[in-house]
Amino acid sequence: MALKQIMLAKKIEEKEAELETLRTRSSEFETREKELETAINEAKTEEERKTLDGEIEKFTSEKKEHDSKREAVEEELDGMREELRELNEKAPKNKERKKGEMGKRSDEEIEEMRSGINAYVKSKGQLRTGFTTVEGGALIPEELLAPQMKPKDEIDLRNYVKVVPVNSSNGKYPVITKSNGKMNTVAELEKNPELAKPTISKVNYEIETRRGYIPISQEEIDDANYDVTGLIRDEINSQSLNTSNASIAAVLKTATPKAVTGIDGLKDLVNKGIKKVYPVKFIISASLYAELDKLKDKNGRYLLQDSIVTQSGKILLEREVIVLDDDMIGTKAGDLVGFVGDPNSFMAYFDRKRTSVEWVDNQIYGKLLAGIVRYDVKKTDADAGFYITYTNAVEGA
């Protein structure tokens, strides 16, 4: 495997991650733009309009800078992909396969293909040497087929809350309450008027360690014709994700409870019950999602819409919808519940140490594959959302 190709594939992976972050930011700009449109329509006084002029100018400048950066990253990524494609085309072609008994591949060939396919997967399809590809995909030999894995939930709630890296096991985190204070207009050379003092509260965090291990025998590692340790490592990471998601959902469920009836009740909550400074999202149970997915407007169009700009791919009332299992955001199957508000303002995830997977020697002929994660989750702004219990509206009522 050419070192230059491996390095280039790594750069492409990093650049793709940067682009994904920029795309997420693009959706935030779209949300801000809609909020500004609403504020413009609701502005009543000349003072409010002047304030909006400044915000619009700032927004336009920031969006222009963001769009330029995104275009530059996309252009740079396209160039890297083209360079890697040319390198792959120039790479030496695969040697003619030597067949062993009964036409099976030799151990040397299998190891070469295993290495090539691992590189293909790790580079997200960028490196394609040492094995056969069909229409851009990897043709996996029968000898390398891995056992089937069940689909797993890829929702990471840490992407929706404020993540605060910390360097100590406990401490205090300052939170400034969002206010309605405004700056005043003054004549030239006049003394600056005092702004409204912000309300600052401190949230105490206490880092807890969560860990566990899965034993694996050396015989299983040696004898398996698939990546046993890779499968177990994925399972540990999956359990870590489930753990952090459950902790975050538990805090979301402590939001102020509110009963909501029908789609009109949801509209009232979003339009009047939560301050406009909070970008609202719906984090709801699968059962509630199923109910909302059936609702239509007066023209017969479904209220839940697909979206290419949100991480979840769904929007309701122009807000992103994130769907969790009933027993995670609720307590049992069938619960029509969820968090409605701004999870990023509502709570914080204090991250002491991300999941680490380590080899630990065991006294038997085997290994222990261990996972460790250290964090705490706390509510930071109770006004940023509600925990709703939904009831369908009665027709004709």
Residues 126 and 157 in one domain: no
Residue 304 near residue 316, CB atoms below 8 Å = yes
241 with 355, same domain?
Answer: yes
User: Is residue 151 domain-shared with residue 96, that is, in the same domain?
Assistant: no
In this structure, is residue 202 part of a structural domain?
A: no
Portion of the chain with pLDDT greater than 90, in percent: 24
Mean pLDDT of 278-292: 92
Question: Is the same domain home to 158 and 139?
Answer: no
Q: Does residue 349 lie within any of the structural domains?
A: yes
Q: Which domain holds residue 234?
A: 147-162+210-397
Q: 99: buried, middle or exposed (CB in 10 Å: 19+, 13-18, 0-12)?
A: exposed
For residue 262, is it within any domain?
A: yes
Same-domain check for residues 268 and 228: yes
Do 138 and 229 have their domain in common? Answer: no
How far is it, in rounded angstroms, from Cα 133 to Cα 77? 23
User: Is the residue at 329 inside a domain?
Assistant: yes
Count the domains in the chain: 2
pLDDT at site 367: 65
- Residue 365 resides in a domain: yes
| Domain final residue pick, 144, 173, 199 | 144
Tell whether 174 is covered by a domain: no
Tokens of 236: 């540990």
Q: Answer yes or no: do 154 and 128 share one domain.
A: no
Do residues 361 and 307 share a domain?
A: yes
109 shares its domain with 244: no
pLDDT at 377 over 50: yes
Q: Is the pLDDT of residue 135 over 60?
A: no
Banded model confidence at residue 98, pLDDT cuts 50, 70, 90: very low
- Asked which of 72-81, 190-199, 260-269, 294-303 is least confident by mean pLDDT, the reply is 190-199
The verdict on 327 and 236 lying in the same domain is yes
Long-range Cβ pairs for the range 305-313 (8 Å, 24+)? 309/23, 309/26, 309/27, 309/30, 310/27, 311/24, 311/27, 311/159, 312/155
Q: What is the pLDDT of residue 136?
A: 43
Q: Which two tokens stand for residue 165?
A: 């890296």
**284 domain-assigned:** yes
Question: Is residue 322 within 8 Å of 282, Cβ to Cβ?
Answer: yes
pLDDT category at 318 given cuts 50, 70, 90 is confident
Q: Would you call 207 exposed, middle or buried from its count of C-beta atoms within 10 A (0-12, 13-18, 19+)?
A: middle
Contacts of 297 (CB under 8 A, 6+ apart): 303
Of 204-213, 288-297, 360-369, the one with minimum mean pLDDT is: 360-369
On whether both 154 and 292 belong to a single domain, the answer is yes
Residue that finishes a domain, picked among 89, 114, 144: 144
User: What confidence tier does 354 reach under pLDDT thresholds 50, 70, 90?
Assistant: low
When pLDDT is averaged across residues 91-111 and rounded to a whole number, the result is: 51
* Whether 183 contacts 195, CB under 8 Å: yes
**Across 84-107, average pLDDT:** 56
Do 237 and 362 fall within a single domain?
A: yes
Which residue, 116, 144, 172, sits at the end of a domain? 144
pTM of the model: 0.56
Has residue 95 got a pLDDT over 80?
Answer: no
% of the chain residues with pLDDT over 70: 67
Distances in Å between the alpha carbon of 76 and those of 63, 70, 71, 90? 20, 10, 9, 22
* Statement: residue 12 has pLDDT above 60: yes
With respect to residue 201, please indicate whether it lies within any of the assigned structural domains.
no
Kindly report, residue by residue over 30-52, the tens digit of the pLDDT: 888 888 888 888 888 888 888 88
